Protein backbone atom coordinates (compact mmCIF):
# COMPACT_ATOMS: atom_id res chain seq x y z
CA UNK A 1 0.00 0.00 0.00
CA UNK A 2 0.92 3.63 -0.35
CA UNK A 3 0.01 6.51 1.92
CA UNK A 4 -3.06 8.27 0.55
CA UNK A 5 -3.06 11.99 -0.27
CA UNK A 6 -5.21 12.49 2.86
CA UNK A 7 -2.67 10.52 4.89
CA UNK A 8 0.19 12.65 3.57
CA UNK A 9 -1.76 15.82 4.41
CA UNK A 10 -2.34 14.50 7.95
CA UNK A 11 1.39 13.78 8.41
CA UNK A 12 2.24 17.27 7.18
CA UNK A 13 -0.29 18.76 9.58
CA UNK A 14 1.01 16.69 12.52
CA UNK A 15 4.70 17.19 11.82
CA UNK A 16 4.53 20.68 10.37
CA UNK A 17 6.68 21.86 7.46
CA UNK A 18 9.84 23.67 8.49
CA UNK A 19 12.32 24.75 5.87
CA UNK A 20 15.10 25.58 8.35
CA UNK A 21 16.64 22.79 10.46
CA UNK A 22 15.53 22.72 14.11
CA UNK A 23 16.58 20.73 17.19
CA UNK A 24 14.58 17.87 18.65
CA UNK A 25 12.03 19.31 21.13
CA UNK A 26 12.74 16.57 23.69
CA UNK A 27 16.54 16.94 23.66
CA UNK A 28 17.09 20.50 22.49
CA UNK A 29 19.65 19.11 20.05
CA UNK A 30 20.11 15.91 18.08
CA UNK A 31 18.45 14.67 16.05
CA UNK A 32 18.09 17.80 13.97
CA UNK A 33 14.98 17.88 11.82
CA UNK A 34 13.93 19.66 8.63
CA UNK A 35 11.03 19.61 6.18
CA UNK A 36 8.29 17.27 7.32
CA UNK A 37 10.00 15.44 10.16
CA UNK A 38 13.09 14.46 8.16
CA UNK A 39 16.11 13.52 10.26
CA UNK A 40 19.46 12.03 9.39
CA UNK A 41 23.12 12.81 8.90
CA UNK A 42 22.16 15.14 6.06
CA UNK A 43 20.43 17.51 8.53
CA UNK A 44 22.50 20.01 10.52
CA UNK A 45 22.02 23.36 12.25
CA UNK A 46 21.52 26.20 9.76
CA UNK A 47 20.41 23.96 6.87
CA UNK A 48 17.71 25.52 4.66
CA UNK A 49 15.64 23.80 1.97
CA UNK A 50 12.82 24.69 -0.45
CA UNK A 51 9.24 23.41 -0.36
CA UNK A 52 10.09 21.17 -3.32
CA UNK A 53 13.08 19.69 -1.48
CA UNK A 54 10.88 19.14 1.58
CA UNK A 55 8.30 17.25 -0.50
CA UNK A 56 11.05 15.12 -2.08
CA UNK A 57 12.49 14.23 1.34
CA UNK A 58 9.02 13.32 2.61
CA UNK A 59 8.32 11.08 -0.40
CA UNK A 60 11.62 9.25 0.13
CA UNK A 61 11.03 8.90 3.88
CA UNK A 62 7.49 7.60 3.35
CA UNK A 63 8.79 4.79 1.13
CA UNK A 64 10.76 3.40 4.08
CA UNK A 65 7.84 3.61 6.52
CA UNK A 66 5.34 2.17 4.05
CA UNK A 67 7.65 -0.79 3.43
CA UNK A 68 8.07 -1.22 7.19
CA UNK A 69 4.33 -1.34 7.80
CA UNK A 70 3.92 -3.82 4.93
CA UNK A 71 6.64 -6.02 6.44
CA UNK A 72 5.52 -5.88 10.08
CA UNK A 73 1.72 -6.02 9.81
CA UNK A 74 0.32 -9.44 8.99
CA UNK A 75 -3.41 -8.63 8.97
CA UNK A 76 -5.54 -6.77 6.41
CA UNK A 77 -5.66 -2.99 6.78
CA UNK A 78 -7.98 -0.32 5.51
CA UNK A 79 -6.41 2.73 3.89
CA UNK A 80 -7.11 4.79 7.02
CA UNK A 81 -5.48 2.18 9.25
CA UNK A 82 -2.43 2.04 6.99
CA UNK A 83 -2.14 5.83 6.90
CA UNK A 84 -2.43 6.07 10.70
CA UNK A 85 0.28 3.43 11.17
CA UNK A 86 2.61 5.19 8.73
CA UNK A 87 2.10 8.44 10.65
CA UNK A 88 2.67 6.70 13.99
CA UNK A 89 5.82 4.87 12.89
CA UNK A 90 7.08 8.02 11.14
CA UNK A 91 7.04 9.65 14.56
CA UNK A 92 8.14 6.84 16.90
CA UNK A 93 10.32 4.86 14.46
CA UNK A 94 9.87 1.43 12.92
CA UNK A 95 11.96 -0.21 15.65
CA UNK A 96 9.63 1.02 18.38
CA UNK A 97 6.57 0.16 16.32
CA UNK A 98 7.98 -3.31 15.62
CA UNK A 99 8.23 -4.17 19.33
CA UNK A 100 5.03 -2.38 20.41
CA UNK A 101 1.96 -3.85 22.04
CA UNK A 102 0.03 -1.93 19.38
CA UNK A 103 1.55 -4.16 16.68
CA UNK A 104 1.12 -7.32 18.75
CA UNK A 105 -2.58 -6.60 19.28
CA UNK A 106 -3.06 -5.62 15.67
CA UNK A 107 -1.44 -8.81 14.35
CA UNK A 108 -3.68 -10.78 16.76
CA UNK A 109 -6.64 -9.15 14.92
CA UNK A 110 -7.52 -7.12 18.02
CA UNK A 111 -8.11 -3.92 16.07
CA UNK A 112 -9.88 -2.16 18.97
CA UNK A 113 -7.08 -3.07 21.38
CA UNK A 114 -4.51 -1.84 18.87
CA UNK A 115 -6.39 1.45 18.47
CA UNK A 116 -6.29 2.02 22.22
CA UNK A 117 -2.50 1.59 22.24
CA UNK A 118 -1.95 4.79 20.23
CA UNK A 119 -2.82 6.82 23.32
CA UNK A 120 -0.01 5.24 25.36
CA UNK A 121 2.66 6.84 23.12
CA UNK A 122 2.43 10.43 24.34
CA UNK A 123 5.83 10.85 26.01
CA UNK A 124 9.20 12.09 24.84
CA UNK A 125 12.27 12.07 27.03
CA UNK A 126 10.10 10.49 29.74
CA UNK A 127 7.76 13.49 29.83
CA UNK A 128 4.14 13.57 28.76
CA UNK A 129 3.78 16.06 25.92
CA UNK A 130 0.46 17.71 25.08
CA UNK A 131 1.34 17.79 21.36
CA UNK A 132 1.94 14.04 21.34
CA UNK A 133 -1.31 13.41 23.22
CA UNK A 134 -3.19 15.36 20.55
CA UNK A 135 -1.32 13.58 17.76
CA UNK A 136 -2.08 10.13 19.17
CA UNK A 137 -5.76 10.98 19.58
CA UNK A 138 -5.81 12.11 15.95
CA UNK A 139 -3.98 8.96 14.75
CA UNK A 140 -6.34 6.75 16.76
CA UNK A 141 -9.34 8.51 15.20
CA UNK A 142 -7.82 8.04 11.73
CA UNK A 143 -7.14 4.35 12.48
CA UNK A 144 -10.71 3.66 13.66
CA UNK A 145 -12.45 5.73 10.94
CA UNK A 146 -14.49 3.40 8.79
CA UNK A 147 -13.78 0.28 10.84
Q: Which residues are catalytic?
A: 15
Kindly report whether the peptide bond that precedes residue 5 is cis, defined as omega within 30 degrees of 0.
no
Angle between helices 51-72 and 79-92 (to 10 degrees): 110
CA–CA separation, 110 and 46 (whole Å): 45
User: Would you give the end-to-end CA distance of the chain in angstroms?
Assistant: 18
Amino acid sequence: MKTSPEGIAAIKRREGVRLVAYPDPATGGAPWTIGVGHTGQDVYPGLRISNEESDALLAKDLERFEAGIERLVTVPLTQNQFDALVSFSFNVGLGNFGTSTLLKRLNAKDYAGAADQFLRWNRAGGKEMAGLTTRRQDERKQFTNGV
